[in-house]
Amino acid sequence: MVNIRCGTVVFKEVEAIVFDKDGTLADSQEFLRLLGRRRARLLDARIPGTADSMLIAYGIEGDRLDPNSLLAIGSRHENLIAAAGYVAETGRGWWESLQIATEVFTEADAQVAATETDTTSPLFVGSLELLAQLHDRGLKLGILSADTTVRVKEFVRVHGLDPYIELEMGVDRGPSKPDPSLFRDACVRLGVDPAQTLMVGDSPLDIQMAQTAGAAGAIGICWGSAIAAHLEQAEVTIRRLDEITIDD
């Protein structure tokens, strides 16, 4: 176990650190905007008039993605349910609405996957180096993302994080962030106590989840943005991952 320092804040006797993926390790705004626009366009082709509402819900405005939006921090299932809701507003039954939304999401996934490269969601600068340093000091490291487990595993593979990441965990069905059972489950899989595990994330859902689960602490990251009010409940907020250091 080691002591972790973020500026003047020190977390003592830490055994593990769990990271969010999108917006924390991965600069995924470009990918998420592409995916969100593709979903909205395909749904609008099936149900005309839904695109604008979906883009607003997704927080997409021009080349900006709202970090607190449904697309940025919601699970795939939550996004699908929201899309089905727009379909249901046209008078279709719920089962049909779910079927249409599912078909649209599957098609959007396939289209985006066909054009996706390893630069679509690149690692933030310093992420790989930090993970290697923490791993070399004996910390157990995991990823707990609102993305699907399949995509978390693919992210780890594409970016060569396999030597450092012991847990690749997404949200498929069941509880979503900020349900504390997710963090507790992640700790069980890592073989650590939540009270000796830190959470690092860019969403208030990450912070609430970890704190409710009894984590050693929650570190919010805003990647240089001056707008960090959504992370005010975190024990500490950082602007870059290299602000996480080992306190010898």
For the chain, domains (ranges, CATH) are 2-28+121-246 (3.40.50.1000), 29-115 (no CATH)
- Burial (Cβ within 10 Å: 0-12, 13-18, ≥19) of residue 104: buried
Q: Say if residue 226's pLDDT is above 60.
A: no
What local confidence, expressed as pLDDT, does residue 248 receive? 74
**Look-up: residue for tokens 């995991």?**
142
State pLDDT tens for residues 191-205.
Answer: 999 999 999 999 999
What local confidence, expressed as pLDDT, does residue 112 receive? 86
- End-to-end CA distance of the chain: give it in Å, rounded: 11
Asked which of 57-66, 137-146, 173-182 is least confident by mean pLDDT, the reply is: 57-66
Q: CA 22, 113, 30, 57 torsion: positive or negative?
A: negative
At residue 44 the predicted structure's pLDDT band, cuts being 50, 70 and 90, is very high
Global confidence as pTM: 0.89
Provide the mean pLDDT of the chain: 91
What local confidence, expressed as pLDDT, does residue 166 receive? 97
What local confidence, expressed as pLDDT, does residue 118 receive? 54
* Beta bridge partner(s), residue 201: 220
17 vs 31: CA distance, rounded Å: 25
What local confidence, expressed as pLDDT, does residue 247 receive? 85
At residue 206 the predicted structure's pLDDT band, cuts being 50, 70 and 90, is very high
Calculate mean pLDDT across residues 93-120. 86
Q: What is the DSSP string of 55-102?
A: HHHHTEETTEE-TTSHHHHS-HHHHHHHHHHHHHTTT--HHHHHHHHH
56 vs 52: CA distance, rounded Å: 6
Tokens of 245: 């250091």
- If we measure between CA atoms, which residue out of 211, 235, 220 comes closest to residue 68? 220
35 vs 76: CA distance, rounded Å: 11
> What is the percent of the chain where pLDDT is above 90?
71
What local confidence, expressed as pLDDT, does residue 197 receive? 98
What local confidence, expressed as pLDDT, does residue 211 receive? 97
Tokens of 224: 């240089």
> What is the percent of the chain where pLDDT is above 70?
96
What local confidence, expressed as pLDDT, does residue 62 receive? 82
Q: Say if residue 117's pLDDT is above 60.
A: no
